[in-house]
Structure 1
Amino acid sequence: MVRLNADLIWKSPHFFNAIKERELDLRGNKIAIIENIGATEDQFDTIDLSDNEIVKLENFPFMNRLGTLLINNNRITRINPNLGEFLPKMHTLVLTNNRLTSLAEIDPLASLPKLQFLSLLDNTVTKQPDYRLYVIHKLKHLRLLDFKKVKQQERADAAQKFHSKEAEEAAKKVAAKAYTPVVMDAQGTTKDQGPKVVAPTPAQITAIKAAIINSQTLDEVTRLEKASEEAEAEKMETDGQDQEEDGADEQKQADESTPIQED
């Protein structure tokens, strides 16, 4: 385990990223606890804590500048319910591939007053009944959820479904009953029961951040969403062709390895 201290912070890469934001790169350091982040002196628009071992999203000092937090590929199971008090300008949060399982565990995100883009892809919570409508209901300013534009009809449906606290609590209870524990194999790795969701690429994250920051409408986001869907469809087609080719090669090898019996 690596301690997140001032020395690590200032030895890590920091630069102006593609959308001219000042970014701190703390990826892949095996950090388990967020601490000493005040050593940044709130000089960064973006902090990248991806590919670490962080369990709790907490321990932030007041940071009036930080707008984007990338924390995908960690072990997040808990979020500080008062997170918004410390990160009032947070507009982009990428929590792809963490361990959030219930609707109640994402309630603290409602404390972020400026949150517009959120990714919870590859968290068990995304499989819960009414997950998307629940998140849209809780996060009033959300414009994109899991790389998909939040539509007005979804807002209306969410408002109708969760019109009271009782409706919210009922949804949480249903989700809790529907939860299926994650299966672990002998090596301690997760056996995913559904198709594996691919984490967003840095290019996708940059493009969506640019769309959010620079556009007055969602036109750019719509184009990005369409392009992403087309790319995914193309990838699926390519993967299918590769599997067919691999299968043919395996069959050919099996045929060649089978001894020929002579009469």
Structure 2
Amino acid sequence: MRLTPPLISTSEVRYSPTGLRQLVLRSLSIPTIENLAVTLDQFDSFDLTGNDVAALSNFPPLPRLSELLASGNEVASISPDFAAKLPSLQTLSLGENSLAALSSLVPLFKLADLESLELLGNPVVSRPYYRLLLVSQIKSLKVLDYKRVNKEERDKAERFTKSAAYKALVREVFEGADAPKVEESAGGKHDAEFDKPATAAAIRTQFTAEEKEEIKALIESAETPAEIDHIQAFVARGVMPPKRGKAKEAAPAAAPAPAEPAPAAAPAAAPAAKRKRTTSESSAGSKGKGKGEKAAASAEEEKAAAPAAAPPAKKGRKARADSAASAASAASEGSRGSRGGAKASPAKKAAKAAGGYAKMTVAKLKEELGRRGLEVPKGVKAKLVEVLEADDAK
């Protein structure tokens, strides 16, 4: 929708919370600033939030206007005469727009009374020294991106103007007569404080057509999403990403970093692996032995494993019975590998020593059935004992 005189004359007029007489032109899909001269400079504030304005330009002289709200548009540039047309501007809100280069903010540096500036949501806020540059150039600024500019930050911005980084930044951001005077001695004393980056090439704010094509080719030739993210990280900082060959050369140096936590987890898994190898070696060695040697080897393995699985010691007759029943359960697994159970297995012997399966708890009986691969029947304890005894008789 065009910003026509009829639209302006029928738009809402109200007083803002701060007492400013405001013309409301919100969310009307306005693409261009025009025809504001019909307001006859009768307003303190314009609210252009949520439109499609692409450039802050074409303003008539409005010496009364002290507030301009233009968040949520498509603003990518600001007219060089912006400050001359709005000399009394104190509050400017340009959040969620498309301002990408530090050079696009230069027209704001001439606003002598600007106290509050908001640019969050624009690509420019990620540029190196963005905040220090604005604080150093707009002396009247009190609040930037909803954060108060304190004395400490002003002192830091003053030191920044005496560094080599600032000297390089001025060459890139400003053009011709607009460039501020830079001391010849700038650089040296404060360089260590402002060392990201230290050369003009590293703080480039815009890319040439050839560089854009090169970046596009790098993205197209990327083999993994990680490579694309790496390229985008450089572009976001306004730095030309390294060529693919150089990136690969640097890769081995960074590769060991993710592998550092691995050794900490290795010792925990090592004992289990060691036990597994020991068992396998014992089993392999026992194949060549006779019947008696097989039984002896099995008994030795069960004996070695028993301390790890044994429950805490208990007192009294019941503790001795439970201990014997546990030994019977552990021994039965090894005995089943011998000759078809022709001789009495260690499990049977342990059960007899404990007074038979009837003396074992229901939990131990179920555990023994599970170890033998038998189905646990439903019913009382007697049923479990019956199944175990029937299996022993086979």
Q: Answer whether TM exceeds 0.5 for this pair.
A: yes
Query: Map of 1:108-257 to 2, 5 A cutoff?
Result: 108-163=107-162, 166-169=167-170, 172=173, 173=200, 174-176=202-204
Greater radius of gyration (CA): 2
How much identity, in percent, do the aligned residues show? 36
State whether residues 51 and 72 of structure 2, in contact with CA within 8 Å, keep that contact through their aligned partners in structure 1.
yes
Q: Within 2, Cα distance between the matches of 1:34 and 1:143?
A: 28
TM-fit CA distance, 1:171: 6.6
Q: Within 1, Cα distance between the matches of 2:46 and 2:37?
A: 12
TM-fit CA distance, 1:18: 1.9
Coordinate RMSD, CA, aligned: 2.4
- Alignment-derived partner of residue 83 in structure 2: 84
| Greater strand content | 1
State whether residues 127 and 205 of structure 2, in contact with CA within 8 Å, keep that contact through their aligned partners in structure 1.
no
Aligned residues: 183
- Alignment-derived partner of residue 38 in structure 1: 37
SS in 2 for 1:50: coil
List per-residue Cα deviations over 1:14-38 (Å, max 9, x = no partner).
0122222100000111111101111
TM-fit CA distance, 1:151: 1.3
- Alignment-derived partner of residue 64 in structure 2: 65
The structure showing larger relative contact order (alpha-carbon pairs under 8 Å, at least 6 residues apart) is 1
TM-fit CA distance, 1:177: 6.0
Q: Within 1, Cα distance between the matches of 2:108 and 2:205?
A: 23
Q: Within 2, Cα distance between the matches of 1:178 and 1:62?
A: 31
* Structure 2, unaligned runs of 5 or more: 174-199, 220-231, 234-394
SS in 1 for 2:157: helix
| Greater helix content | 2
State whether residues 101 and 123 of structure 1, in contact with CA within 8 Å, keep that contact through their aligned partners in structure 2.
yes
TM-fit CA distance, 1:142: 0.2
- Alignment-derived partner of residue 3 in structure 1: 2
State whether residues 17 and 23 of structure 1, in contact with CA within 8 Å, keep that contact through their aligned partners in structure 2.
yes
* Structure 1, unaligned runs of 5 or more: 184-192, 195-263
State whether residues 169 and 203 of structure 2, in contact with CA within 8 Å, keep that contact through their aligned partners in structure 1.
no
- Alignment-derived partner of residue 47 in structure 1: 46
Q: Within 1, Cα distance between the matches of 2:205 and 2:140?
A: 29
State whether residues 30 and 51 of structure 2, in contact with CA within 8 Å, keep that contact through their aligned partners in structure 1.
yes
State whether residues 102 and 175 of structure 1, in contact with CA within 8 Å, keep that contact through their aligned partners in structure 2.
no
